[in-house]
Chains A and B, each alone.
Chain A
Amino acid sequence: MKPKHQRLVLVLLALGAILGASALAMSALRDQAAFFYAPGDVKGKPLPLDRHVRLGGMVEKGSIRRAADGVSIRFAVTDGQAVVPVAFRGVTPDLFKEGSGVVAEGRFQPDGSFVADNILAKHDERYMPPQAAGNMHETKTLAQ
């Protein structure tokens, strides 16, 4: 192979790698990006049933119910506009409590409820999932 040709082949390979990476990433993005919803976002609209999403808002006061097995709980997430019931099985974060911010990861169910496979809560004074931080602001202004 001539040097010139070799360089050309290498450049083409590199371009191919970039295109391959982008194509791979884009196809995975279409399936796997978890979009963020507040309860008000899905009120009266078709639910995104086919994908993994995040649901964020406040844990509604008086809504936490613990099941008899000791590890399943139900609670409601609200943003002042709508309420979504959430079911979760697992250990909730330490600062998960009524009236404070929460982000639930999981899927909407056809009946409008939400099954979470992970719960993120405000972790300490400094740590908060960004979406919860943003949304809490909105929720606060709505509540006032």
Chain B
Amino acid sequence: MIAEAGLAALWLATGFALVQVLLAWGAAKGADQAGGPMVMAALRRVAIVQGLLALAAFLLLVTLFVQSDMSVLLVVENSHSMKPLIYKIAGAWGNHEGSMLLWVTVLAISGAGVALFEKRLPRGTLAATLGAQAAIAIGFYAFLAFASNPFVRVSPPPLDGQGLNPLLQDPGLAFHPPTLYLGYVGLSVAFSFAVGALLMRDVGPAFARAMRPWVLAAWIFLTIGITAGSYWAYYELGWGGWWFWDPVENASLMPWLAATALLHSVSVLATRDGLRAWTVMLAVVAFSMSMIGTFLVRSGILISVHAFAVDPTRGGFILALLGLYIGGALALFGARIGTVKQGATFELVSREGALVLNNLLLSVILGVVFIGTLYPLVAQAAGVQLSIGAPFFEKAAVPVGLALVAATAAGPLLKWRRDQWNALFGKLLVPVGVAGIAFALVFALGGAQWLPALVLGLAAGLAVASVLPLIRRNLRRTPLHLYGMAVAHLGIAVSIAGMAADGAFKVERLAAIAVGQNVSVGPYRVELLGVRPAVGPNWSALEAHLKATRIGSAPFDLFPQQRFFANPPTNTNEAAIATELDGQLYTVIGQGDGEGRWQIRAWWKPFVTLIWAGGAMIALGGLLSLIGRVRRERRDAEEAA
């Protein structure tokens, strides 16, 4: 019954979405007429009910997984009654159909959120926004119903399920996809706002102020999702890397880059009424990147840990939706952009100028990642097989990224509208001095490697520059969003410092050793004390007992494992990681050679944790900024009332 109820909820939600589009059309047309407020109130309620229905369908699917209902095909294929509860729940979205249902649920809930909370936007624009949001939802409901129905039954039901890919059986997985989806699909709101504002010829500061909290919120979730995903790949895959430029990782990076640009340009539009057309364009691009990411991951065109299924009809369906929505939005942009009036102007040397530079550099990085991710697919279609990996992205994106870091340091020190070069140089004196000293120190002590020295120098400079806007201010009266900016920019400095330190100074050792022997890696001596079997709820393992000793501190034990899962039959490597203040010791056990020796792979990764600490700071900065903005909007609204 539950499966049927879920499907019914999905169809009902589709029906409500259709009604929502029609009501929105009516409300937008007759926004100023007598019945306008009533139609508007009805529209809001329909949007909220649509969101609740989608949520109900999703919760019903989770219930099926929790109950291990083996009469449902999706449960059979992706779950097993012996799985721990948390992975039964996570299994609901650890597969194609379930994750698409989560996707569309977030889309509908975001629309409901707009209907609930958006009070200040002109009625017509809000109606058009809700209509656009429902129009997107309809396409993806149709995709679920016709190409990816999660509620299909099997008859007769098998005795038990096939289990979940063991790589995905990790606490990180429970939260990674939902977080990422909140960000991905949260950007749909920005897209719908842009479409709504274009339709109603209402592109201006009010529209930007309405859009900003949504962009911020989506961006915070994307940041958390990417940071958590990177850490998950780092400890779960056992390869010691934290970013693989895997197409699926890029699929999450591209919306983040576009959202970061949008976040900055929307501020220019909200506070200075500049960059109108550009901001609308970015809002369209950001969600387009989310949809392209969905297409890449869900069409089966890529085969990786993330891609669950290969089914050409699904790819075609998503591609058609993609063409419809992106093409439609771009056509609307082309048709209406002439009606968007020129906003306020500014001098080249100004905060706005710096933000334009930020946007351009982010766009270049986005372009590079986009080309690197899609080129192999295009080449494959042309009959050439090639792959594009880290060397490409590092060569093409790192120089632009470094320029962006420098711009990030300088931008917040500039005044709005116009500033002087001399004033900027004066303010940059201290950060540049710090950067120079850091560069010289790292260059001298770190074996004369200029790139890591440059990155660490820039990081030090940015760290200083990012707190400068707070200096000589009354800290209690400083608006929260300024703290947010400082924390986020400091987070970038922290994160790239971790990347550079790990990239340049990590030490890797690989050796086959017998019990009683040791390898040294970085400041540690790692001794193999024994190898023994271990068991978990649904796996058995070979576990190495390692003792790590470092001069001047107490030795500690590490237990890396090679796990064997029975359902489905798979091996995984569980790295054992020890976190110290100055880095991490990362150990993995490989194969035995049958003569008493075991492959032990160990890394010393200095300051690697800064990468994710920085990511968390960036997200925290976003959160502070969001709280500050929402509070101020509320206060302004009260004052206006």
- On A, residues with C-beta under 8 Å from B are 1-4, 6-7, 10, 13-14, 16-18, 20-22, 24-25, 27-29, 31-36, 52, 54, 66, 69-71, 89-92, 94-95, 105, 123-131, 133-134
The reply to whether A32 and B391 form a contact with Cβ atoms under 8 Å apart is: yes
The reply to whether B360 and A17 form a contact with Cβ atoms under 8 Å apart is: yes
Chain A residues closer than 8 Å to B363, beta-carbon distance: 14, 17-18, 21
The reply to whether A89 and B510 form a contact with Cβ atoms under 8 Å apart is: yes
The reply to whether B388 and A18 form a contact with Cβ atoms under 8 Å apart is: no
Chain B residues closer than 8 Å to A36, beta-carbon distance: 385-387
Q: Determine the residue in chain B with the shortest Cβ distance to A31.
A: B395
Q: Which of B316-324, B489-497, B498-506, B585-593 contacts A (4 or more CB under 8 A)?
A: B585-593
Q: Does B613 sit at the interface, judged by CB under 8 A?
A: no
Q: Does B371 sit at the interface, judged by CB under 8 A?
A: yes
Q: Pick the contact of A129 from B303, B395, B573, B588 — CB < 8 Å? A: B303
Q: Determine the residue in chain A with the shortest Cβ distance to B274.
A: A6
Chain A residues closer than 8 Å to B571, beta-carbon distance: 94-95
The reply to whether B387 and A34 form a contact with Cβ atoms under 8 Å apart is: yes
Those 5 A-B pairs whose CB atoms lie nearest each other, nearest first: A70-B512, A21-B367, A94-B571, A36-B385, A32-B392
Q: Pick the contact of B386 from A34, A71, A126 — CB < 8 Å? A: A34
Interface hits, B390-437 → A, CB 8 Å: 391-393, 395-396, 399-400
- Overall SS of chain B's interface: mixed
Min CB gap B251→A, angstroms:
16
* B553-567 near A? 1/0 per residue, CB < 8 Å: 000000000100000
Q: CA–CA, A69 to B513, complex, Å?
A: 9
Min CB gap B418→A, angstroms:
10
Interface centre among B360, B593, B599 (most CB of A within 10 A): B360
Chain B residues closer than 8 Å to A129, beta-carbon distance: 303
Known interface pairs A32-B389, A124-B568, A127-B304. Does A1 touch B371 (Cβ–Cβ under 8 Å)? no
Q: CA–CA, A92 to B571, complex, Å?
A: 12
Chain A residues closer than 8 Å to B366, beta-carbon distance: 21
Chain A residues closer than 8 Å to B368, beta-carbon distance: 21, 24-25, 28
Q: Does B511 sit at the interface, judged by CB under 8 A?
A: yes
Known interface pairs A25-B371, A69-B512. Does A33 touch B303 (Cβ–Cβ under 8 Å)? no
The reply to whether A32 and B570 form a contact with Cβ atoms under 8 Å apart is: no
- On B, residues with C-beta under 8 Å from A are 165-166, 275, 278, 302-305, 308, 342, 345-347, 356, 360-361, 363-368, 371-372, 375-376, 384-389, 391-393, 395-396, 399-400, 510-513, 562, 568-573, 588, 590-591, 593, 597, 599, 601
Min CB gap B336→A, angstroms:
16
Q: CA–CA, A20 to B399, complex, Å?
A: 12
Could you show 11 A-B contacts with beta carbons less than 8 Å apart? A3-B342, A33-B376, A34-B388, A35-B385, A70-B512, A70-B599, A71-B510, A71-B511, A123-B305, A124-B165, A124-B569
The reply to whether A52 and B303 form a contact with Cβ atoms under 8 Å apart is: no
Interface centre among A2, A24, A95, A128 (most CB of B within 10 A): A24
The reply to whether B278 and A33 form a contact with Cβ atoms under 8 Å apart is: no
Q: Determine the residue in chain A with the shortest Cβ distance to B513.
A: A70
Min CB gap B500→A, angstroms:
20
Known interface pairs A34-B386, A91-B590. Does A70 touch B511 (Cβ–Cβ under 8 Å)? yes
Chain B residues closer than 8 Å to A69, beta-carbon distance: 511-512
Q: CA–CA, A141 to B167, complex, Å?
A: 32
Q: CA–CA, A1 to B367, complex, Å?
A: 29
Known interface pairs A10-B278, A89-B510, A124-B568. Does A33 touch B364 (Cβ–Cβ under 8 Å)? no
Known interface pairs A24-B400, A25-B367. Does A34 touch B389 (Cβ–Cβ under 8 Å)? yes
**Known pairs A1-B345, A3-B345, A27-B396 / 6 extra A-B pairs, C-beta < 8 Å:** A6-B345, A36-B385, A36-B387, A91-B590, A95-B571, A130-B303
Chain B residues closer than 8 Å to A70, beta-carbon distance: 511-513, 593, 597, 599
The reply to whether B388 and A22 form a contact with Cβ atoms under 8 Å apart is: no
Known interface pairs A1-B347, A71-B512, A90-B510. Does A35 touch B386 (Cβ–Cβ under 8 Å)? yes
Q: Pick the contact of B367 from A2, A17, A127 — CB < 8 Å? A: A17
Min CB gap B372→A, angstroms:
7
Q: CA–CA, A10 to B278, complex, Å?
A: 9
Q: CA–CA, A66 to B512, complex, Å?
A: 11
Known interface pairs A33-B392, A66-B593. Does A22 touch B367 (Cβ–Cβ under 8 Å)? yes
Q: Determine the residue in chain A with the shortest Cβ distance to B347.
A: A1
Chain B residues closer than 8 Å to A95, beta-carbon distance: 571
Known interface pairs A10-B278, A70-B512, A91-B599. Does A25 touch B396 (Cβ–Cβ under 8 Å)? yes
Q: Determine the residue in chain A with the shortest Cβ distance to B363.
A: A17
Q: CA–CA, A22 to B368, complex, Å?
A: 7
Q: CA–CA, A69 to B337, complex, Å?
A: 67
Q: CA–CA, A32 to B390, complex, Å?
A: 9
Q: Determine the residue in chain B with the shortest Cβ distance to A131.
A: B385
Interface centre among A21, A22, A31, A105 (most CB of B within 10 A): A21
The reply to whether A35 and B396 form a contact with Cβ atoms under 8 Å apart is: no
Q: CA–CA, A68 to B438, complex, Å?
A: 44
Q: CA–CA, A16 to B305, complex, Å?
A: 37
Q: CA–CA, A28 to B392, complex, Å?
A: 6
Q: CA–CA, A101 to B166, complex, Å?
A: 21
Min CB gap A42→B, angstroms:
14
Chain B residues closer than 8 Å to A32, beta-carbon distance: 388-389, 391-392, 395
Interface centre among A90, A95, A124 (most CB of B within 10 A): A124
Interface centre among A1, A27, A54, A130 (most CB of B within 10 A): A130
Interface centre among A18, A52, A91, A127 (most CB of B within 10 A): A91
Min CB gap A75→B, angstroms:
14
Chain A residues closer than 8 Å to B375, beta-carbon distance: 25, 29, 33
Min CB gap A126→B, angstroms:
7
Q: CA–CA, A7 to B344, complex, Å?
A: 11
Q: Pick the contact of A24 from B166, B275, B364, B569 — CB < 8 Å? A: B364
The reply to whether B308 and A126 form a contact with Cβ atoms under 8 Å apart is: yes
The reply to whether B396 and A24 form a contact with Cβ atoms under 8 Å apart is: yes
Chain A residues closer than 8 Å to B387, beta-carbon distance: 33-34, 36, 54, 131
Min CB gap A3→B, angstroms:
4
Chain A residues closer than 8 Å to B570, beta-carbon distance: 94, 123-125
Interface centre among A13, A70, A92 (most CB of B within 10 A): A70
Q: CA–CA, A71 to B346, complex, Å?
A: 62
Q: Determine the residue in chain A with the shortest Cβ distance to B511.
A: A71
Min CB gap A65→B, angstroms:
12
Q: CA–CA, A25 to B375, complex, Å?
A: 10
Q: Pick the contact of A17 from B364, B386, B393 — CB < 8 Å? A: B364
Q: CA–CA, A77 to B135, complex, Å?
A: 52
Chain A residues closer than 8 Å to B392, beta-carbon distance: 28-29, 31-33
The reply to whether B303 and A127 form a contact with Cβ atoms under 8 Å apart is: yes
The reply to whether B364 and A127 form a contact with Cβ atoms under 8 Å apart is: no
The reply to whether A91 and B510 form a contact with Cβ atoms under 8 Å apart is: yes
Chain A residues closer than 8 Å to B367, beta-carbon distance: 17-18, 21-22, 25
The reply to whether A21 and B364 form a contact with Cβ atoms under 8 Å apart is: yes
Chain B residues closer than 8 Å to A21, beta-carbon distance: 363-368, 371
